[in-house]
Structure 1
Amino acid sequence: MDEKQQVVDALKLALPEMTEDDLADKVERPKDNKNGDYAFPTFFLAKTLHKAPQAIAQELVEKIDQANFEKVVVAGPYINFYLNKAKVGAEILKAILADPENYGSKDLGHYGNVTIDYSSPNIAKPMSMGHLRSTMIGESIGRILEKENYRVVRIDYLGDWGTQFGKLMAAYKMWGNEEDVKKDPINTLLNYYVRINTEADEHPEYTEAGRDWFAKLEHGDKEAWRLWKWFREISLERFQRVYDMLDVHFDSFHGEAFSAQKMEEPIQLLRDKNLLKLSRGAQIVDLDKYNLVPPLIIKSNGTTTYITRDLATALFRKRMYGHVKSLYVVGAEQENYYKQLKAVLKEMGFSWWDQLEHISFGLMSFGGKKMSTRKGNVVSLEDVLNDSVKLAREQITQKNPSLKNPEEVAKMVGIGAVVFHDLKNDRRNSVDFRLEDVVKFEGETGPYVQYARARAMSILRKENNPSFDDVDLSQVGVAAWPVLKQLGKFGETIQRAAENYDPSIVAKYALALAKDFNQYYAHTRILVDDEGKLARLALVQAVAEVLKSALALLGVKAPDEM
């Protein structure tokens, strides 16, 4: 049973007029372990009961069934609950060992569909370190929601439409060479794109040529479409290499171009509801009542914009997937844009407008420098992952030269280190990436967590992976309590991460559990032959299982040996 639920159940008898959810909201964890495992404040009852909080606490304690606790005591205006450590610890271990894959999961989703739009690189450009954030935050949120019984639809909404592709076509027609593109597709196309942007200040006709090519694309010109399909195909091949390294898989690669073919419906709906207003030859939607800048729906030259395509996308996804949530994992700088999108859908009369949620995140810099594709100063994500694997391989060779599968482990550790470093930060915060700080086996790193788990597996191998059937798990000992408490928090950790769409909650949990286990390992003779040995090994097994599950939720693999 959930330990917090034991406290709520005990309080229900004393406060029958309060709902279970209200009681659960009030129950808290004391910062100091000396004040028990859980505490219940009584300040809020003083007004209705017309008594001092301490007196209320004293009266409630007398009504509480204390059978499942070591003790329940009054501490000023608080009731402090001290759990029966042996009993609760045994229940936690039993639950983990009985079903390690599902431990910590809850049915928050009831099989509801959730679409997650993430990664979304632009074709004809390399995936930079900046793409790591959206890709792995989105992937991790998907895994966390699946753990909570949502059905997740992963969408890579490719940036494969817009005036930038007109610019690229213009650049290719001026300077391009098919053989050069075939030799090194992405970098060659990127060089064309950077060049036309760099020289456009002195040659405004380049910008005009870009507009002309995009207009050709929108109107079905054969050569424009041939180039677009080619650029998209070679880009997807390169993206897939990176996704395979990160173990990321999508259900749909429908991008802006797909939505561009479906724009008649939202435009007609806007017209039917008299929502389109003329402004300097263009057509907008007035969002003054939301204190939002009016979004441009159709430009003065008749071409469409991002938001026109996103309206079509939103209609298609609701119709196709019947989602209960539609998440967009996009940088924080787009916050107002998604407010506009939701407001327009609301104005159009769609009741599900509030199912759309913008999952924002801070920028990533590399060694303190901001990255920009347009200026050409991008850092390739694939290169960084390969460099991290190389660095991990060097450290593993030093620490364990006899490791059986060093290349496989180096990939798990190197790639896992990059992913964990990103996800351990609150997604809203900006992140600066320095490779030398990431691939370390100590500190708040992915390898530190992976190594703690590998250590647990090593202990179990020494005992030939024992069976725990009919073991008295209450014999684990009081020294294990900090680890047991941490194991017991896994379910509420996943729930908080799901509700906040924040993988850092799981990453910080994994670090805390690894730290508690390492301290336990340092001060406890786990393998000494006594009546508690098998219970201690059961604890080690439980730690290994939960660390593996926590890392998996982040998209990080857990090697058995390091």
Structure 2
Amino acid sequence: MKIKKDVVEIVFNSLEGQLSREQIEHMLEKPQYDYMGDLAFPCFTLAKLFRQSPQSIASDIASKITNPLVEKVEAVRGYVNVFLKRDKVTNEVINEVNRSAQEYGNLDIGRGEVVTLDFSSPNIAKPFSMGHLRSTVIGNSLALVAEKCGYKTVKINHIGDWGTQFGKLIVAYRLWGKEDTLRQDPIKELLKLYVHFHEKAEHDPSLNDQAREWFKKLEEGNEEARSLWTWFREESLQEFSKIYKKLGITFDSYHGEAFYNDKMQRIVDLLEEKKMLEQSEGAHVVPLEDLPPCLIRKRDGSTLYATRDLAAAVYRQENYHFKKSLYVVGNEQSLHFQQLFTVLKKMGYEWQKGMEHISFGMMLKDGKKMSTRKGKIVLLEEVIQEAISLAMKNINDKNPQLEAKEEVARHVGTGAIIFHDLKHHRSNDIEFSLEDMLRFEGETGPYVQYTHARASSLLVKGQFEKDSDHVGIDDKEAWSVVTQLMYFPNVIKRASENSDPSQIAKYVVELSRAFNQYYGSVRVLDDASKRQARLSLVYSVKAVLKEGLRLLGLQAPEKM
């Protein structure tokens, strides 16, 4: 909004360039209480810089702020508190939102540069569990936020389609599998075989030797091994695509681990050329100063995750020319990514500066990590189906005549699951609770979706004329809604800078609350002379809620 840019410019000039405009904008706050103003700039960090007290600096800045949208400015306890002319600002904000609707909050931080996002990445021949949900929805939201900020995105699903687990599955299928049973329900049957293998291997270690032998055969191109691997992979991708369709998520690339099999030798050769490889107990490693050595090739000559990820990073830079490359992978892989980025830096690749591990906490069940190996998982597809069924029950109870009930139930059910994840800061672990996930009141996706539907209904009832000029809105109750609308671009910027979708999730809840309080205290449609002006505020709320939900990967039903 222009008033904020004006305040930033005045502060910037007052500080004689000691802070950048971006730093100043980042420091601007929304005061906790109304009596403290509408914008606040804290001066405490500037005291050392200028060798003056925070209060003296605040007084100096406050004396320079003049603007037709500013009512008054106060310097209080080291803060510059700016009070806005609420009637003028209200109309400016509403007009700005209504003019641009979906484009409101668009930023040009990215300037058309490419961001690759590596996320979701489930393992072939294993079910898509709740444990995979976090990477999937966080990565998707970050891609949408990046696009909102002017980046071009490449969404990569780095499928886990290689490794010794395939040796285990091939052995299990050859010993206990039946083709007919597997074709009826591939993923469920493959999970059974995988769990059964581990149960048996605890008492018969020779099974692990057989698994290693079969994986070696797969690597060498054995026809039977290759045929089973291809079958398991195709069946898995079909099952995954059903889940992604329900969640409304798409990818630009499904290049998994196997794709890089013929690209790893080049990396090993490069490391040898640069004299970075050392032998350690028969294996080849890259020694690193402050980290454990990065293992590149095992004693038996086979490569590892690090080799594969180095090959993937080089491939992505050469093919996509990324400015930033984000890996949305759990906290437990932090060391792996520190090693990966450090090795790339030692190889002389400047572009590695744009690479970042977007870590997140685990989805826990009864306080413990879910384990496919032990069969202790919760299937995402079953949770989605249960959420949709509960949404349908609510619709049938409260609005049985609703049009397109099945579609609305799907949007609300999947929205409840996605929102429940994204409202938590990504670094926190989440305890799996179906009850909490499917709650439809409080800080939930359905609450925000219902608020959007309520706004849509008001616009229809009031016959809102979007493109007409409306008399300014003067309801004092509208101010909390207006200030929320004003901060939307800032929220998007923070979500982008911190790779944190929870900023947007919390924001749409707060905007919904502010709007519902306004709706509860002002009879929007009663006064014909004010109706269209009030509906212009309602339209702004609807537009921003819809865009906020979209950035989280949720649909915004018109009716509920």
TM bracket, shorter-chain basis? over 0.9
Bigger drift between 128-137 and 66-75 goes to 66-75
Structural mapping, 1:280-295, within 5 Å: 280-287=281-288, 289=289, 291-295=290-294
Distance across 2 between alignment mates of 1:318 and 1:48: 41
Distance across 1 between alignment mates of 2:182 and 2:176: 11
Q: Partner of 2:397 in structure 1?
A: 398
The secondary structure found in structure 1 opposite 2:529 is: coil
The secondary structure found in structure 1 opposite 2:278 is: strand
State the superposition RMSD in angstroms.
Answer: 1.7
Q: Partner of 2:485 in structure 1?
A: 487
Instruction: Decide whether the 8 Å contact of 2:90 with 2:473 is kept in 1.
Output: no
CA displacement, residues 442-494 of structure 1 (integer Å, 9 cap, x when unaligned):
2111111111111111111111243342113x324221000000011110101
Report the AA paired with residue 372 of structure 2.
Answer: T
- 1:8 and 2:11 matched: no
Report the AA paired with residue 490 of structure 1.
Answer: F
User: Mind listing any 5+ residue stretches in structure 2 that lack a counterpart?
Assistant: none
Structural mapping, 1:421-432, within 5 Å: 421-432=420-431
Structure 1 residue 73 displacement after superposition: 2.1
Distance across 2 between alignment mates of 1:49 and 1:121: 53
- 1:477 and 2:478 matched: no
Report the AA paired with residue 142 of structure 1.
Answer: A
Q: 2:542 aligns with which of 541, 544, 559?
A: 544
Structure 1 residues 351 and 77: alpha-carbon distance in aligned structure 2, compared to 1, 3 A threshold:
closer
CA displacement, residues 318-352 of structure 1 (integer Å, 9 cap, x when unaligned):
10100001111110000001001111111222112
Instruction: Decide whether the 8 Å contact of 1:126 with 1:187 is kept in 2.
Output: yes
Q: Partner of 1:169 in structure 2?
A: 170
Structure 1 residue 14 displacement after superposition: 4.7
Bigger drift between 67-76 and 244-253 goes to 67-76
- 1:158 and 2:168 matched: no
CA displacement, residues 168-227 of structure 1 (integer Å, 9 cap, x when unaligned):
111111222211111110111111111111111211111001101111111111211111
- 1:305 and 2:311 matched: no
Instruction: Decide whether the 8 Å contact of 1:57 with 1:77 is kept in 2.
Output: yes
Distance across 2 between alignment mates of 1:267 and 1:370: 35
Instruction: Decide whether the 8 Å contact of 1:281 with 1:300 is kept in 2.
Output: yes
The secondary structure found in structure 1 opposite 2:473 is: helix
Instruction: Decide whether the 8 Å contact of 2:260 with 2:311 is kept in 1.
Output: yes
Instruction: Decide whether the 8 Å contact of 1:133 with 1:422 is kept in 2.
Output: yes
Structural mapping, 1:174-185, within 5 Å: 174-185=175-186
Structure 1 residues 8 and 284: alpha-carbon distance in aligned structure 2, compared to 1, 3 A threshold:
same
Structure 1 residue 22 displacement after superposition: 4.7
Instruction: Decide whether the 8 Å contact of 1:61 with 1:72 is kept in 2.
Output: yes
Instruction: Decide whether the 8 Å contact of 1:297 with 1:307 is kept in 2.
Output: yes
Structure 1 residue 76 displacement after superposition: 3.6
* Alignment length (residue pairs): 559
Overall identity of the aligned pairs, in %: 47
Instruction: Decide whether the 8 Å contact of 1:3 with 1:488 is kept in 2.
Output: no
Instruction: Decide whether the 8 Å contact of 1:440 with 1:448 is kept in 2.
Output: no
Instruction: Decide whether the 8 Å contact of 1:496 with 1:505 is kept in 2.
Output: yes
Instruction: Decide whether the 8 Å contact of 1:61 with 1:73 is kept in 2.
Output: yes
Instruction: Decide whether the 8 Å contact of 2:201 with 2:207 is kept in 1.
Output: yes
Q: Partner of 2:432 in structure 1?
A: 433
Q: Partner of 2:350 in structure 1?
A: 351
Structure 1 residues 51 and 409: alpha-carbon distance in aligned structure 2, compared to 1, 3 A threshold:
closer
The secondary structure found in structure 1 opposite 2:102 is: coil
- 1:414 and 2:413 matched: yes
Structure 1 residue 366 displacement after superposition: 3.6
CA displacement, residues 254-303 of structure 1 (integer Å, 9 cap, x when unaligned):
1000012211110101111121111111111111x1x2111221111111
Distance across 2 between alignment mates of 1:347 and 1:491: 38
Structural mapping, 1:139-154, within 5 Å: 139-154=140-155
Distance across 2 between alignment mates of 1:52 and 1:334: 45
Structure 1 residues 456 and 274: alpha-carbon distance in aligned structure 2, compared to 1, 3 A threshold:
same
Distance across 2 between alignment mates of 1:308 and 1:57: 54
Structure 1 residue 365 displacement after superposition: 1.9
Q: Partner of 1:498 in structure 2?
A: 496
Instruction: Decide whether the 8 Å contact of 2:477 with 2:518 is kept in 1.
Output: yes
Structure 1 residues 45 and 109: alpha-carbon distance in aligned structure 2, compared to 1, 3 A threshold:
closer
Q: Partner of 1:89 in structure 2?
A: 90
Instruction: Decide whether the 8 Å contact of 1:68 with 1:83 is kept in 2.
Output: yes
Q: Partner of 1:330 in structure 2?
A: 329
Q: Partner of 2:508 in structure 1?
A: 510
Q: Partner of 2:460 in structure 1?
A: 461
Structural mapping, 1:220-235, within 5 Å: 220-235=221-236
Instruction: Decide whether the 8 Å contact of 2:29 with 2:40 is kept in 1.
Output: yes
Instruction: Decide whether the 8 Å contact of 1:13 with 1:64 is kept in 2.
Output: no
Structural mapping, 1:209-224, within 5 Å: 209-224=210-225
Structure 1 residue 7 displacement after superposition: 1.7
Instruction: Decide whether the 8 Å contact of 2:124 with 2:237 is kept in 1.
Output: yes
The secondary structure found in structure 1 opposite 2:81 is: strand
Instruction: Decide whether the 8 Å contact of 2:172 with 2:197 is kept in 1.
Output: yes
Q: Partner of 1:389 in structure 2?
A: 388
Distance across 2 between alignment mates of 1:388 and 1:234: 25
Structure 1 residue 421 displacement after superposition: 0.2
The secondary structure found in structure 1 opposite 2:232 is: helix
Instruction: Decide whether the 8 Å contact of 1:92 with 1:487 is kept in 2.
Output: yes
Distance across 2 between alignment mates of 1:293 and 1:43: 41
Q: Partner of 2:553 in structure 1?
A: 555
Structure 1 residues 171 and 48: alpha-carbon distance in aligned structure 2, compared to 1, 3 A threshold:
closer
User: Mind listing any 5+ residue stretches in structure 1 that lack a counterpart?
Assistant: none
Distance across 1 between alignment mates of 2:12 and 2:447: 42
Structure 1 residues 516 and 50: alpha-carbon distance in aligned structure 2, compared to 1, 3 A threshold:
same
Bigger drift between 34-43 and 410-419 goes to 34-43
Q: TM-score, structure 1 length as denominator? A: 0.96
The secondary structure found in structure 1 opposite 2:527 is: coil
Structure 1 residue 67 displacement after superposition: 2.8
Structure 1 residues 399 and 209: alpha-carbon distance in aligned structure 2, compared to 1, 3 A threshold:
same
Distance across 2 between alignment mates of 1:244 and 1:46: 54
Distance across 2 between alignment mates of 1:353 and 1:48: 33
The secondary structure found in structure 2 opposite 1:63 is: coil
- 1:276 and 2:277 matched: yes
Bigger drift between 406-415 and 56-65 goes to 56-65
Instruction: Decide whether the 8 Å contact of 2:7 with 2:65 is kept in 1.
Output: no
Structural mapping, 1:17-96, within 5 Å: 17-18=17-18, 19-43=20-44, 52-96=53-97
Q: Partner of 1:532 in structure 2?
A: 530
